[in-house]
Amino acid sequence: MKHKSFFWFVLPSSIAMLLFIFFPILSVLLQSVFTEHEQVIKEVRNCGPFGCQTTTSIDQEATAALREAEPLGRFVGLGVYFDRGHLALSEVAQLWRESAGLGAFFDRLLNLPFYKAIAFTLTYTFVVTPLTIVLGFVIAVAVNSAARAIRGPLIFVSLLPFIITPLVGSLVLFWMLDARGIIGSAMQVLADDPDLSVKASTPLMWTMLMVYGVWHSAPFAFIVYYAGLQTVNQDTLEAAMVDGASRWERIRYVVIPHLLPITTFIALIQLMDNFRVFEPIVSFSAQAHATSLSWAIYNDLSGETRQLSSAAATSFLTIIGVAILLSPVIVRTYRDFTRK
């Protein structure tokens, strides 16, 4: 394809991505090193019959003028990144000096908002991803062994948790988990504890968020594995059997090697998607027990006072996290491409 026609064909798409993905990244970076101007304080001397008094008040006009003149705010460099809401360097250093042991240190570290968010995000990502893969694989094997006539309906039902809007799917689950809902009351009976409630217990809340995560994404792994199982070479399987391979050996040496590249694909997609975990925390109103990086950004942006530079700093730290997670994908795609 000629350079010129390539240019015209990709132009609309490039403009959209340039304006609404690339520039916003720069804007996020820029905002994260600025913060809003402090209010201008003026001193007023009031002289009355009983002597003079100095009072301080906010100079609204001067504040507005300053904000108008420099809309980005004042430059603080990495200040926002290091403040209490983000990396909290001084607080961490203080905790390190004061805490008796490592356990106590981590306990108190998780009270800092950013570390609390990153702890849950990483736990969620690295617990949900492998469980999703295992569950998806088992469903695929089970569906594959079912009679052909019922596979269609089985796939239909299995797709439901994945296609459903995440906010809605997690709400549906949360209502059942409510202390007055069906699963919630069942858990109370099973644990023999009438006060058991997901809303009140941090470990239970974490578990349930991860249960939701696996429930939501297992169908994706299932569908991909199921398609992979259809393409296993039947001749190789039969040949292995003729050569006397047992059932396990056939799975180990024929099926699993065939599914390995598919597994890397699922794992990478799942890592990317689980890292942005957000909606279930809103649905479960879990913020007291678990927050995530995406939730922290949302929280900064949705309040009455939008904390743009704080949200921008969290956003940029999240992008760095994604970049670290993504590096294997890029390497792999690059190798695939150069092999062609």
Partner 1 sequence: MASKAFRKPLPLQALLIFFLVVWVVMAAFPFLWTVWGSFKVEGDFFSKADWANAIFGTRTRAETGDLFTGQGYYGAWVQEEFWRAALNTLIVCAATVMISLTFGTLGAYALSRSTYRYAFWFLIIALIFRAMPPITLVSGYLPVFFDWNLWGHLPTAIIVLVAINQPFTLWMLHSFFNNIPKDLDESAMVDGCTRFQAFRHVIVPVMWPGVITTALFSFLLAYNDFAITALVLSKENQTMVPKIASFLGTTQTKGNVMFAVAAVVSVTAPLFVMIMFFQRQIVSGLTAGAVKG
Letter for the amino acid at 50? F
In angstroms, the first-to-last Cα distance of the chain is 18
Binding to partner 1, residues 102-121 (CB under 8 A): none
Where b means 16+ CB within 10 Å and e means fewer, 255-285 reads beebbeebbeebbbbbbebbbbbbbbbbbbe
Binding to partner 1, residues 177-196 (CB under 8 A): 178, 180-182, 185-186
Report yes or no: 304 and 154 within 8 Å, Cβ to Cβ.
no
By CB under 8 A, residue 167 contacts partner 1: yes
Q: Considering only residues 60, 94, 165, 246, which one is a binding residue for partner 1 as defined by CB under 8 A? A: 165
By CB under 8 A, residue 5 contacts partner 1: yes
Binding to partner 1, residues 255-274 (CB under 8 A): 261-262, 265-266, 272
Residue closer to partner 1, measured from CB, 64 or 93: 64
User: Whole-angstrom Cα distance, residue 135 to residue 219?
Assistant: 9
Residue closer to partner 1, measured from CB, 109 or 259: 259
User: Whole-angstrom Cα distance, residue 124 to residue 321?
Assistant: 14
User: Whole-angstrom Cα distance, residue 24 to residue 122?
Assistant: 25
Q: How far is the CB of 176 from partner 1 (least distance, A)?
A: 6
Q: How far is the CB of 256 from partner 1 (least distance, A)?
A: 16
For the record, the structure tokens of 140 come out as: 């695929």
Binding to partner 1, residues 65-94 (CB under 8 A): 71
By CB under 8 A, residue 17 contacts partner 1: yes
User: Whole-angstrom Cα distance, residue 171 to residue 184?
Assistant: 14
Q: Considering only residues 62, 76, 241, 251, which one is a binding residue for partner 1 as defined by CB under 8 A? A: 241
Residue closer to partner 1, measured from CB, 43 or 235: 235
Q: Considering only residues 24, 77, 194, 257, which one is a binding residue for partner 1 as defined by CB under 8 A? A: 24
